[in-house]
């Protein structure tokens, strides 16, 4: 007996162990998408155009998920993944796709998410920016497991907390990748289960927490004639080459009296904003990042920056009505409801939203588009070989 199309996918897939599937497209999150008798099926590490034999691994009400058993016909753009850890390591999602088409497919997936969830106009022009595909990351987070007197150092496996040991990681800048083979020995006696590493503009290294045998001091990096100081303990944008582009499309050309940089980190956008606005207020919730933001303002001689070390949620009621310019760059979860509602109430004339998570951005944009129009939108591929994409949206108040 064949089940009816409105029967939940989980029931229709219950007795199916393997199926054949054509992958139609990539979706946000990096998985391939196909339909089996109308049921949406998501398959990690698949490529648009692939014909696959798939084992069903998840059966949900509206969809299923599967893993590749056999590639019956590869899609155009599929390749042998260059890194030997791909497949086990959870760090990268897209190494099986040619570098050139990754950005294009991710951009399509992000656009589709924003149209479907935020009601973004499908005719909205989007600029897509990409840089080098390998050797770009200036910061990474490693996990450590102990095996007798040895340390296993690497990344978590996909959807698991098992550590996949790595001695190479070609998305890292060479100075960072070069330290990986030393880590099992250096960390043999260390107690921590996590190690953050970052490099500066001159290739020097910083680690957190402190480990004997590795430097942990302050780093510095010049971007657009501004000298940024940071260390491995705080957030800093990861893509060394695209830092100037990210500043350019976020800060833009606008000038004025006052700008607010919410979720400011070490002041990555506050510093260039201070060259365009008479006064900048930077709000950052993390103590060390806020301290660096103050230090960065000081040693770049930008006396017009005030750094507030507060959670945006507890500060946002101080935002004046109709401020000229607000930049928000929240964590992956996007804006909290109080922050979103307060922003809508105070109605900045120009609001710039920098996002690393399209679904969270879509939720926030849906609310913001009641009062704003999109002036410009840029997708920046800050994270090649992974499913992530940075999105910068320039919003202008509709009445402005
Ligand atoms: C995506 S990072 C952006 C940082 C900065 N704009 C940059 O480009 O380097 C988000 C920042 O928000 C901070 N943060 C997270 N939640 C926060 C909150 N509720 N209030 C204030 N800051 C927060 C984090 O510490 C982090 O520095």
**315 CA to centre of ligand 1 in angstroms:** 14
Task: Assess whether the C-beta atom of 269 lies below 6 angstroms from ligand 1.
Answer: yes
Q: Is 262 helix (H, G, I), strand (E, B) or coil?
A: strand
Cβ–Cβ under 8 Å, residues 282 and 327: no
Answer yes or no: do 123 and 144 share one domain. no
Answer yes or no: do 109 and 155 share one domain. no
Answer yes or no: do 113 and 144 share one domain. no
Nearest to 315 by CA among 349, 298, 333, 339: 339
Residue 392 structural domain: 100-133+239-397
- Rounded CA separation 26/12 (Å): 24
Cβ–Cβ under 8 Å, residues 362 and 113: yes
- Flag whether 295 is in a domain: yes
Answer yes or no: do 179 and 305 share one domain. no
- Flag whether 80 is in a domain: no
- Give the position, in ligand 1's atom list, of the atom nearest the Cα of 312: 20
- How confident is the model over 60-85, as pLDDT tens digits? 999 999 999 999 999 999 999 999 99
Nearest CA residue ID for atom 13, ligand 1: 263
- Flag whether 17 is in a domain: yes
Answer yes or no: do 109 and 149 share one domain. no
- Flag whether 93 is in a domain: no
Q: How distant, in Å, are the alpha carbons of 85, 104, 210, 354 from that of 361?
A: 31, 19, 35, 9
Answer yes or no: do 209 and 255 share one domain. no
- How confident is the model over 85-112, as pLDDT tens digits? 998 999 999 999 999 999 999 999 999 9
- Flag whether 171 is in a domain: yes
pTM of the complete model: 0.95
Q: What is the mean pLDDT of each successive set of 10 residues along the chain, which is 400 residues long?
A: 72 94 95 96 97 97 96 97 94 96 96 96 96 98 89 93 96 97 91 95 96 95 98 97 98 98 98 98 98 98 98 97 98 97 97 97 98 98 97 94
Answer yes or no: do 246 and 369 share one domain. yes
**136 CA to centre of ligand 1 in angstroms:** 22
Q: What CATH number corresponds to the domain at position 273?
A: 3.40.50.150
- Rounded CA separation 349/53 (Å): 52
**Averaged confidence pLDDT in the chain:** 96
pLDDT at 3: 57
Task: Assess whether the C-beta atom of 331 lies below 6 angstroms from ligand 1.
Answer: yes
How many domains does the chain contain in total? 3
């Amino acid at each position: 007996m064949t089940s009816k199309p409105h029967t939940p996918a989980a029931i229709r897939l219950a007795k199916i162990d393997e199926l054949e599937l054509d992958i139609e497209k990539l979706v946000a999150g990096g998985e391939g998408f196909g339909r089996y008798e109308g049921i949406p099926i998501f398959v990690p590490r698949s490529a648009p155009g692939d014909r696959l034999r798939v084992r069903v691994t998840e059966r949900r009400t509206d969809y299923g998920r599967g893993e590749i058993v056999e590639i019956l016909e590869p899609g155009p753009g599929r390749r042998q993944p260059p890194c030997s850890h791909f497949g086990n390591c959870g760090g990268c999602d897209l190494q099986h796709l040619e570098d050139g088409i990754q950005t294009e497919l991710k951009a399509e997936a992000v656009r589709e998410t924003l149209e479907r969830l935020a009601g973004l106009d499908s005719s909205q022009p989007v600029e897509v920016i990409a840089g080098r595909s390998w050797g770009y990351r200036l910061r990474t987070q490693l996990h450590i497991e102990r095996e007798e007197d040895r340390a296993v150092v690497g990344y978590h496996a996909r959807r698991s907390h098992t550590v996949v040991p790595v001695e190479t990681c070609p998305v890292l800048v060479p100075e960072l990748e070069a330290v990986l083979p030393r880590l099992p020995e250096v960390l043999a006696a260390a107690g921590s289960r996590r190690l953050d590493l970052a490099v500066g503009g001159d290739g020097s290294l910083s680690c957190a927490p402190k480990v004997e045998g590795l430097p942990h001091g302050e780093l510095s990096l010049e971007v657009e004639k501004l000298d940024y100081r940071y260390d491995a303990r705080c957030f800093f944008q990861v893509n060394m080459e695209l830092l100037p582009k990210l500043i350019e499309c976020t800060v833009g050309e606008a000038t004025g009296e006052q700008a607010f940089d919410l979720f400011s980190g070490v002041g990555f956008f506050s510093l260039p904003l201070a060259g365009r606005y008479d006064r900048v207020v930077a709000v950052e919730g993390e103590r060390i990042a806020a301290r660096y933001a103050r230090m960065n303002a000081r040693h770049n001689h930008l006396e017009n920056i005030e750094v507030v070390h507060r959670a945006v949620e507890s500060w946002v009621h101080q935002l004046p009505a109709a401020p000229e310019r607000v930049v928000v760059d929240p964590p992956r979860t996007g804006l909290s409801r109080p922050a979103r509602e307060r922003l809508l109430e105070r109605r900045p004339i120009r609001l710039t939203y920098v996002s690393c998570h399209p679904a969270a951005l879509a939720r926030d944009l849906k609310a913001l588009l009641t009062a704003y129009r999109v002036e410009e939108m840029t997708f920046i591929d800050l994270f090649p070989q992974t499913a992530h994409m940075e999105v910068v949206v320039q919003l202008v108040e509709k009445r402005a």
